Each structure stands twice: as structure tokens, then as C-alpha cells.
Amino acid sequence: PIGSFIFLGPTGVGKTLLAQALAEFMFGSKDSLVQIDMSEYMDKFNVSRLIGAPPGYVGYEEGGQLTEKVRRKPYSVILLDEIEKAHPDVFNILLQVFEEGRLTDSLGRKVDFRNTIILMTSNVGADMLRKQGSLGFVAPKEEVTYEHMKDRLLEEVKKTFKPEFLNRVDDIIVFKSLTRENLHDIVELEIADVVKRLKDRHIAVQLTKDAMELLIEKGFDPVYGARPLKRTIQRLLEDPMAEELLLGHVKEGSKVKVSRKDEQLVFV
């Protein structure tokens, strides 16, 4: 493969989003992302599904969950979620991919992996992070905390994965926890999308600083990171705005200022 990487760190900090962005940047489309949940391959019986069921078994002619997707999209980013949950036999398959750059599926076809980028996410050490309370949002001063977290996670990785597997991975990347500045940037990106859609309807929208802060407060979860942010923006901003449009309170040509009132957003 072009490269193989393990992504570690708190949940909800953008590991999957980075994989999508990489697929779009490298191969021109988010559709070039092949995503596989490795928790479905915990049992030895299910491992064969990656390269295809053996002859005589159900699904034999369909090809493998991994090999068939790569055969159809040879230029792709492969995202293997929660790699630590996979059965040991899965790692034997991956070692073959890392070494030879190809796999033979159950139909005898050689599938080329030389133009793929393999990303593996892992929740190794997630419980440790949760206990430390360093999961998700941290203050900017925490460079020392990050280095400490990185060292601890790398120790956990060495305990979890065999050396021959880790030696063939190009790099292990530890993601930092989100700072308040990061969350502000994420909210701005999400809001920009809403503002653009309303601008297409000739409606100008501006959010106050307090309104942004409310979205950050309500949209960040210590366990799930920034994942709930999109739902929060929909619940507090998009849905009420849609209601205002339906009721005719906001019309084409309107200029709307969104501000905070207690725990809600108000439109003026």
C-alpha cells in the first residue's frame, strides 16, 4: 500500500472525518473511502467474509467484504474501525497486504492493494483516558498532558498488538483532545454550511458570540467529543429557523440576527 497508519486518541476528535478528507484529497471523492467495522470480525468464523466465503458456503460468488470493494475501487482509502477487536487471523491477512500489496479472494482473483492507503482506528487506552478525565475537551496549556497521553497510549498499543504487525505499520498517530478554539472552528464550519443554504434563498444570517458559545456548550460531550455538535446545531438553529420560515416570520430578503436567550437561540 501507499501507506498504513494507526489512529489513536480520544473519541469524537475527527479520526473518521480525516479519513474522508484524505479520500477526497487523494482520489477526488469521498466515495473512495472503504470503511469496515472490525468489531464484526471478532469471531474466526467471520474472518473469511473479508476475502469471500469458501466454495459451497452462502455468499461464495459475492466476493469478500474487503477484497471486492478494493477490486472495484483500487484507488481508495481503507478505514478499518476498532482494529483491536478483530480476530488474530485478520492480522495475518493484513500482514500479507502490507508485505505483498495484494490478496487472493475466494474466487482466486488477485486484488491489488498497492494504490490504497490503509487507516486503522483503535480505542486502545480509551478507558484509561476516560479515567484520567483528559478525554475530549481540554484547555490549551495541555501540551505536557498530550505527551503523557501519547506515551501511555503507545505503551497500551505495544501490549495489544504483536510486534510483527506494528513493525509493518508506517506510523502511529495520536490525536490531541479538542481545545475550545478547535470547537469554535468546528462550529464556524458547520454554521457556514447553514448560512450558505439560507443565502441561496436570499436570507442573511448572523450569529452573535453568545449564540456560538451556546452551541459549543450544548454540542460538546466529554465522552463523545464533537460528535453531538451537528445534532445540536440542527436542534437549536436549523429546526427553529425552518419553523420561522414556514410561519412566514422569516422571508426572502430578510436579515436575521441569531442571539442567545438563556438556553435557547432567538431570531431577531
The tens place of each residue's pLDDT in the chain, 268 residues long, gives 999 999 998 888 999 999 999 999 999 999 999 999 999 999 998 999 999 987 777 777 788 999 999 999 999 999 999 999 999 999 999 999 999 999 999 999 999 999 999 999 998 887 777 666 544 455 545 556 888 888 989 999 999 999 999 999 999 999 988 888 899 999 999 999 999 999 999 999 999 999 999 999 999 887 788 889 999 999 999 999 999 999 999 999 999 999 999 999 999 9
What per-residue confidence (pLDDT) applies to 222? 75
Residue 175 CA to residue 99 CA, distance in Å, equals 27
Cα 210–chain centre separation: 29
What per-residue confidence (pLDDT) applies to 226? 87
Residues whose CB is less than 8 angstroms from the CB of residue 249 and which lie 6 or more positions away in sequence, other chains included: 267
What per-residue confidence (pLDDT) applies to 135? 44
What per-residue confidence (pLDDT) applies to 44? 92
What are residue 73's phi and psi, to 5 degrees? -130, 75
Q: Outline which parts of the chain fall under CATH 1.10.8.60.
A: 180-267
State which fold the 180-267 domain adopts: Helicase, Ruva Protein; domain 3 (1.10.8)
What is the pairing mode between strands 3-8 and 116-121?
parallel
What per-residue confidence (pLDDT) applies to 144? 62
What per-residue confidence (pLDDT) applies to 217? 92
Q: Outline which parts of the chain fall under CATH 3.40.50.300.
A: 3-174
What per-residue confidence (pLDDT) applies to 134? 46
Residue 178 CA to residue 139 CA, distance in Å, equals 8
Distances, alpha carbon 58 to alpha carbons 54, 55, 62, 79, 86, in Å: 9, 8, 9, 26, 22
Q: In this structure, which amino acid lies at residue 21?
A: A
Q: Does domain 3-174 have CATH number 3.40.640.10?
A: no
Q: Which residue has the cell 510486534?
A: 163
Please, how many CA atoms are within 13 Å of residue 229, restricted to the half-sphere of its CB?
26
What is the pairing mode between strands 204-207 and 255-261?
parallel
What per-residue confidence (pLDDT) applies to 140? 47
What per-residue confidence (pLDDT) applies to 133? 55
What are residue 129's phi and psi, to 5 degrees? -65, -40
What per-residue confidence (pLDDT) applies to 53? 80
What per-residue confidence (pLDDT) applies to 59? 72
